[in-house]
Chains A and B, each alone.
Chain A
Amino acid sequence: MTAASLSILLITAALAPALCRLSRRVGSLVVAAVPLALGGWFMAVAGDALSGSGFAETWTWLPELGIDLAFRVDGLAITFALLICLIGSGVLLYASSYLSDNPRLGSFMGVLTAFMAAMLGLVLADNLLLLFVFWELTSITSFLLIGFDHERERARWASVQALLTTGLGGLALLAGLIMLGLAGGTWTISELDAARVLESDLYTPIAVLVLLGAFTKSAIFPFHYWLPNAMEAPSPVSALLHSATMVKAGVYLVARLNPTMAGPLVWDESLAILGGVTMVLGAFLATRQDQLKRILAYSTVSSLGTLMMLLGLGAAKAAATYLLAHAIFKGCLFLVAGSLTKATGEKDPDRLGGLMSRDPVLGGAAIFAALSMAGMFPLIGFVGKELVIKAGLSHPEWATFATVGVVVAGALTVMAALLVGVRPFMLAPASGSDLEWRAAPGWRQLTLPVALAAVGIVAGLAPGLYAEPLVGGMVASITPSSVPAEIRLRWFELLWPPSTATFLSVAALGIGTALFAWRRLYRVATGPVARLEILGPARAYDGVLAGVTWIAARQTRIVQNGSLQTYVRVMLLVVTVVVGLALSRSLDLDLLPDVAGDATALEGMLILALCGAALAAVMQKTALATVACLSGVGFVLAILFAMYGAPDLAMTQFSVETLLLIIFVLVLFHLPKYSNLTSRAFRLLDIGVAGVFGITFGLFVVAVLAGEPTSSVAEFHAENAVPGGFGRNIVNVILVDFRAMDTLGEIFVIGVAGIGVYTMLRPRGTWRKEAAS
């Protein structure tokens, strides 16, 4: 059923365009219903998944390589599967209304469903390479969705940036996973031997490469730049891919491999430090934005950093809870932002206001989600934030660093949350701006935001329903113990009796609210700091991209410079060097036969004629004369062939020379005298190249003659030509029978060459038609 769920999603993705063409309204509802049903199935089996190490399903794929379609549904997988299916279904529903007037709604639904299949495969896969396949598929579908509005240059640019960044990380990840498989002795993730990996010499490179993959995917500093730009995608995509699921693939990967890889130095400390930096940087940059979606994007970067940091600190419970909380409130806020922009055409939250009266349902959902994001009790966000602060406080080594970071980021997040979720609804509109309220969001746009806001409230009030089992299951997957822990997430227990964490949490709320109130002053004050961003990695991305293009152009100009003389020179030199090296290792001058001794007078004359024709060829003033001389060389060769008992070769040589001469005459008839002669230096160089080439090959031929005659092939052909091939002409029997396959390939090439000449020189019409007219 696990593999079946993927197949069902993929089939739905393939059918989506057709369904939406039949009926945009009903078709999109059908597409959205499929992941909802799958979500129901995952809920039904959640009990099995959360007990012990879950359940597995394996299909044989490439048994020789040890790669199977292995799936395992455990606590971590089931949580992600539920997020993907349930949020995904709501997002599809939302998109059917959000993009209702877009002619490409069908393909959008299809790609979004295909993404869900890829993401689901990623979290269910229990094989390192299978996981990687799905990992790359999510990158590709993300690329397609960011660039969905492909007529805008900015969208195309952002999608390429996301693809290149995550693709680069994907390459590193592939190398890391292969090394991990070799070090761990198996491709099956659940059977990886942590002790073997930790002792392996490959441990450090594996950790670096896998983290590189995870950090690019999850937009961790210094790769955080692509995620805000990915907001060029339609809002449903931002909600599903770029906050709830895909960008969490990096977090998922780290969590999944944590039992195997967790260890000091590279793994834990990279996660803690870079995660912490990303957490603060993202939260700060979020408060500097003036567009709803960009604020949310940077705050997502901050949350991803928080999750990575928590995994590095070993705080599995806090990470699991915060992951769940974040997916719930951030998905809701992205959809609200999309609806607001669609209804008003406005992106700047400071130009929005007083919208509670316009749409109280949307406003209510937004406010609850924003409060959850800010960490207000009794919502699930409060529980998450409390646990994050506690994890920072209780860490033996990094307590100060982590706590300061968490509180600063927390305060800034409060400000961002108020700006996005509360400002447009509760406060008065900015003076002078006249707000329109064009496309009021219908039920399809409201369902998921309201549901997510409600889930945030229920999860906070009654965590025993789903939050506690899911978090427990995730913790079991993240930590090596794999025994589902007893998890308590009661908000009042965190609030009372008050602790340092409670105090810090309240302080963050207060500071954040104050910053929000005096945000104009705050923006002016932080301006100089924000300006430092132009020195950041986004610049590096542009620089590297420009550099690669520049190098490619340069090296093409050198390697493919269009000069036939250079090409020939290089080819001859390479062949000379290779053959010369081989000769220098095996050539024994004493063993060379006396090649000149037994030549007859006729042969001598022919060879003199050959040399004379060749010499004459290079002395000519016109191309035509040169070709005539070269033909002379060919004809003398043909006579030599005939004399040495190769009449077939001689005949063919004659015919080819004749035809070649005709063709050359046709081509060269109009060419003028050689006017553009090369300089003296180049001519000397060419003489040298030609001389060395000739001498090397002369020696080569003599050396071949001197060697032991390996005549087994020749004898076989001679003996079998009549009985096997019914022909006395061995050459022909070889061509049409023994080696007919080679001949078939050769005549194919000849045909292609003829058609190639025809198409290159005759771009218009056909001469049959012209002749008839």
Chain B
Amino acid sequence: MNSVIFRSSTQVLLPFMLTVSVVVLFRGHNEPGGGFVGGLLAASGFALHAMAFGYRSAQDTLRIDPRVLIGVGLFIAAGSGIPSLLVGEAYLQGLWITLEPYGFPEPLKVGTPLAFDVGVYLLVLGAAFLMVCTLEEYRHDADDGS
């Protein structure tokens, strides 16, 4: 798509959407959000970029192969269940530790469910973006062929 408005706004939107997606991911435990929505938001941002500048540009912006993201995401999510096994709990049982970094208004709780959610985020981003890129490329090939 060659609309100047679309292209310019996409350039502003992508960083914004990625920031929001990360915020949504991390606040998900207490406020509306989470890894799934965050991943979808991030993927939407890259999809917009792909529509405006082509899928190759979007891939170069993401830098990481989405297939690798799928694998890494699944690995992190599945692996986040292992620490609880080590302490004798059931697989994927959440484990939490409370950190009190200097200057924070309240104690920060970090746990394996957070890692799980990060895994979900990466996988959803990878899978959705992989579909978009593949379809986009398929469309290009069809264009070349016709």
Contacts and interface: CB of A to CB of B under 8 A. Distances in A.
B78 A744 contact: yes
B137 to A, nearest CB: 6
A254 B54 CA distance: 76
Nearest to B70: A751
A652 interface: yes
B139 A729 contact: no
Contacts of B81: 740, 744
Contacts of B137: 761-762, 767
B37 A648 contact: yes
B70 A669 contact: no
A758 B59 CA distance: 15
A655 B51 CA distance: 17
A729 B31 contact: yes
Interface in B19-57: 24, 28-37, 40-41, 43-44, 47-48, 51, 56
Interface in B115-146: 116-117, 119-120, 123-124, 126-128, 130-139, 142
A669 B139 contact: yes
B77 A747 contact: yes
Interface stretch (A77-85, A560-568, A657-665): A657-665
Interface stretch (A481-489, A624-632, A731-739): A731-739
B67 A728 contact: no
Contact of A652 (B37, B113, B116, B138): B37
B51 A750 contact: no
A557 B84 CA distance: 51
A727 to B, nearest CB: 4
Contact of A651 (B24, B70, B116): B24
Contacts of A652: 36-37, 40
Nearest to B118: A736
A659 B40 contact: yes
Nearest to A768: B65
A757 interface: yes
Contacts of B138: 761-762
A758 B37 contact: no
A648 B33 contact: yes
Nearest to A733: B29
A670 B36 CA distance: 30
Contact of A758 (B33, B51, B96, B130): B130
B15 interface: no
Given A663-B132, A732-B34, A736-B120, A755 B70 contact: yes
B67 A758 contact: yes
A727 B29 contact: yes
B134 A762 contact: yes
A398 interface: no
A740 B35 CA distance: 12
B5 to A, nearest CB: 18
B110 to A, nearest CB: 10
Given A736-B35, A751-B123, A754-B66, A744 B29 contact: no
B91 interface: yes
A662 B37 contact: no
B116 A729 contact: no
Interface in B84-118: 91-94, 96, 109, 111, 113-114, 116-117
Nearest to B24: A651
Nearest to B32: A647
B117 A736 contact: yes
A717 B134 CA distance: 40
A743 interface: yes
A754 B113 contact: no
Q: Is the interface of B mostly helix, strand, loop or mixed?
A: helix
Contacts, number: 158
A726 B111 contact: yes
B59 A771 contact: yes
A274 B40 CA distance: 72
B29 A767 contact: no
A669 B81 CA distance: 42
Nearest to A751: B70
Query: Residue among B47, B124, B131 with the most chain A CB within 10 A?
Result: B131
Contacts of B136: 666
Interface string A655-687: 110110011001101100000000000000000
Contacts of B135: 663, 666-667, 757, 761
Contact of A754 (B94, B96, B127, B142): B127
A62 interface: no
Contact of B126 (A656, A735, A751): A751
A725 B94 contact: yes
B65 A670 contact: no
Query: Residue among A728, A754, A768 with the most chain B CB within 10 A?
Result: A754
Contact of B47 (A648, A662, A670, A748): A662
A4 interface: no
Contacts of A667: 135
B118 to A, nearest CB: 10
A531 B44 CA distance: 76
B42 to A, nearest CB: 10
B74 A736 contact: no
Contacts of B56: 767, 771
Query: Residue among A663, A666, A728 with the most chain B CB within 10 A?
Result: A666
B37 A726 contact: no
A729 B132 contact: no
- 9 interchain residue pairs of minimum CB distance: A754-B127, A655-B40, A647-B32, A727-B29, A666-B135, A736-B113, A740-B92, A728-B30, A754-B130
25 contacts: A652-B37, A655-B40, A655-B41, A659-B132, A666-B139, A726-B94, A726-B111, A729-B28, A732-B117, A736-B35, A736-B113, A736-B117, A741-B91, A743-B120, A744-B77, A747-B74, A751-B123, A754-B70, A754-B130, A754-B131, A758-B130, A767-B56, A767-B133, A767-B137, A771-B56
Given A744-B81, A761-B138, 14 more contacts: A648-B32, A651-B37, A729-B28, A732-B28, A732-B33, A732-B34, A732-B117, A735-B34, A736-B120, A748-B74, A751-B71, A754-B66, A758-B67, A762-B134
